Structure 1
Amino acid sequence: MSGPFLLLLIFTATFAFVVAGLYFASGWFKTEALVEGESDGFAGRDGEPLLLRTETVSSISFWATLLERFRFVPNLRRLISEAGLSWSVGRFTAMMLLAGASMGVILSRLAWLPLLGVLCGAVLAMLAPFFYVRSKRQKRFLLFEENFPDALDTLGRAMRAGHALAAGIELVAYEAAQPVSGEFRIVLEEWKLGRSWDQALDHLVQRIPLVSVSLFVAAVRMQSRTGGKLHEILTRISEGVRDSGALEGEVRAISAHGKLTGAVLTVLPIGIAVMLHSTAPGYLDILNDNPVGRYMVVAAVILLIAAHFVIRKILDIRI
């Protein structure tokens, strides 16, 4: 490993560690301040008013100025919001930079690992926070779809009993399970602060881009313009969402076998290499002694990881 490259990795890791430390320290002080004081207005996930707060890219000015030059910042902000996390884009990118630089420094200390292996390991570590947020987003959407039919039934019963739409949404906002109740609470608070139902529901669709939510919003808009029995439409939407969820559950159960097979095929070559090294020491030394063998090992690991994600992508059946 060349000296300048190692110094660059150490500098990047130190810079990322300082930035991440500043973020975590500011978050800790903010939490302490919220515990000691009382907050007015409608509180969000981080304790700040939902509609009065301003979304900043980063609380560190120079980091925010740097990130604002990139076009992917709005996409990252939307991804983090859809995952239900209160992180800022600056904190998220600092975590990615810290993970990648730290892994690069650790792998650079392995003399037998070529530069390509160090770079690939650093990139994978840097992408780990991104995959974590993607996973959180997917789980949150699945949980929302599971609880959404019950919320529609609650709203439909309230409408059938003669309550107004605002009263029904308020009932869902405080009685439904998370994350449905949190999202409907935001809709209710936006309406109370002067926004129209169309604007509040449009924001709901933007935060939760699901087909079932779009159908619900379209039904409410149609009823407000043309009239009709909204509770019957909500009942049908609820039944359709339940049937769709049951079908998706069957598809996930069927594809689970293929995903398990893919995981076994990914781990199998590594297990065989460990067994060969244990039963026949020195048999695989040629891969370490020969520079070409090192590149072959790195390429094999990269292809294994790529094959794992390809298999999962093939088995990710969408209805």
Structure 2
Amino acid sequence: MSSFREIAVPLWSSGLMIVATCLAFLAAGPIFETGLERALGRQGHRLRSLGLNAEFVSTLIGVWVFLTVALFLWLGVSLQIWPLAIVVCLMMLVAPRWIVALLIRRRERLFRDQMASACFSLGCAVRAGLALPEAITRQSRELPQPLAQEFRIISQAYGRGQPLRRALEEARDKLALEPFSLFVMVLSAALERGGPLDESLARIAGSIFETQRVERKLEIETASGRKSISTLACFPFLFLGGSWFFVPSMINVLFETIWGQWALAAIALLVGVAFVWGNAILNRRF
């Protein structure tokens, strides 16, 4: 009976804490959503400008925060591992901003990659005799997403009577990407003064292709470094798990004593900081 109580009481208390956390999040839903929107700040605006579903990302972050709070209560209240609970949950709360920044970088890169083929195709359409608005409308049907959506917005704005130059400038201000800004500058100059638009678009496409080549080269050169960072970040935890199979009493001391818990928390914090710092160094562009 005593052994059953030893197992049932922690499980029952953990379940009650999870239920209480769910009820608290449901009760404070609007306040939580407002706080989450403010926490995202510029990142949320950037997600929307790049055509990503910011509301869905906010929902996922809300679920992540809920799981973080539940984990904090489980580690701290049920297992009484407060140092590890504090450090691990603080790292989990910081992680969403890093993940959202990664999503934004990948989306921006996708736009840059698609801009090269878009400039080349648009130049071919203009060379074939199509007017610039007609060429943009055609590209909005042929280009892949998400760039096709931006071309479609420009085409629809022009169809509603808005000047083409203004529609291009609005798209430029929304995306805030260097290749697209250069693209709009060339089109605006062609609309204002004329000139060989197809040749200018071909030069832009060549410049973007060269930038892509350099980025791919940098990725290849830093791939081994990224793999080493991930391996080194996982090694302390793999070593800890492997040691538990051979000397469980020594590993149990780390979780049962306050100094052992602080040692584990310090290790987790150092590994997390080193992982983020290493990736930040590899992501730098000189």
Q: TM-score range by the shorter chain?
A: 0.7 to 0.9
* Corresponding residue for residue 52 of structure 2: 85
Structure 1 position 288 matched with structure 2 position 255 = yes
Distance 1:97 1:289, change over 3 A: closer
Query: How far apart, in 2, do the equivalents of 1:165 and 1:13 lie?
Result: 55
Q: Which amino acid counterpart does residue 216 of structure 1 have in structure 2?
A: F
Query: Is this contact kept in 1: 2:88–2:268, CA < 8 A?
Result: no
| 2:107 aligned to which of 140, 146, 154 | 140
* Corresponding residue for residue 239 of structure 1: 206
* Corresponding residue for residue 231 of structure 2: 264
Q: Which has the higher helix share?
A: 2
Distance 1:18 1:79, change over 3 A: farther
Distance 1:213 1:274, change over 3 A: same
TM-score with structure 2 setting the length: 0.82
Query: How far apart, in 1, do the equivalents of 2:279 and 2:145 lie?
Result: 28
1:229-259, CA deviations, whole angstroms, 9 ceiling, x for partnerless residues?
Answer: 1111000000010011011001011111111
* Corresponding residue for residue 73 of structure 2: 105
1:194-239, CA deviations, whole angstroms, 9 ceiling, x for partnerless residues?
Answer: 3333332233223322211111011112222222111110000000
Query: Is this contact kept in 2: 1:19–1:94, CA < 8 A?
Result: no
Q: How many pairs align?
A: 271
* Corresponding residue for residue 316 of structure 1: 283
Query: How far apart, in 2, do the equivalents of 1:160 and 1:277 lie?
Result: 70
Q: Which amino acid counterpart does residue 16 of structure 1 have in structure 2?
A: F
Query: How far apart, in 1, do the equivalents of 2:73 and 2:63 lie?
Result: 15
1:84-127, CA deviations, whole angstroms, 9 ceiling, x for partnerless residues?
Answer: 3333386466445434333333433542411x432333334344
Q: Which amino acid counterpart does residue 15 of structure 1 have in structure 2?
A: A
* Corresponding residue for residue 174 of structure 1: 141
Query: How far apart, in 2, do the equivalents of 1:92 and 1:271 lie?
Result: 28
Q: Displacement of 1:63 after TM fit?
A: 6.4
Distance 1:121 1:63, change over 3 A: closer
Q: Displacement of 1:187 after TM fit?
A: 1.7
1:258-299, CA deviations, whole angstroms, 9 ceiling, x for partnerless residues?
Answer: 111111111111122222222223223332232122111111
Distance 1:248 1:167, change over 3 A: same
Q: Percent identity?
A: 22
Q: Displacement of 1:9 after TM fit?
A: 8.4
Query: Is this contact kept in 2: 1:13–1:101, CA < 8 A?
Result: no
The runs of 5 or more residues in structure 2 that have no matched partner are 1-15
* Corresponding residue for residue 272 of structure 2: 305
The runs of 5 or more residues in structure 1 that have no matched partner are 1-6, 21-59
RMSD: 3.0
TM-score with structure 1 setting the length: 0.74
**Larger Cα Rg: Structure 1 or Structure 2?**
2
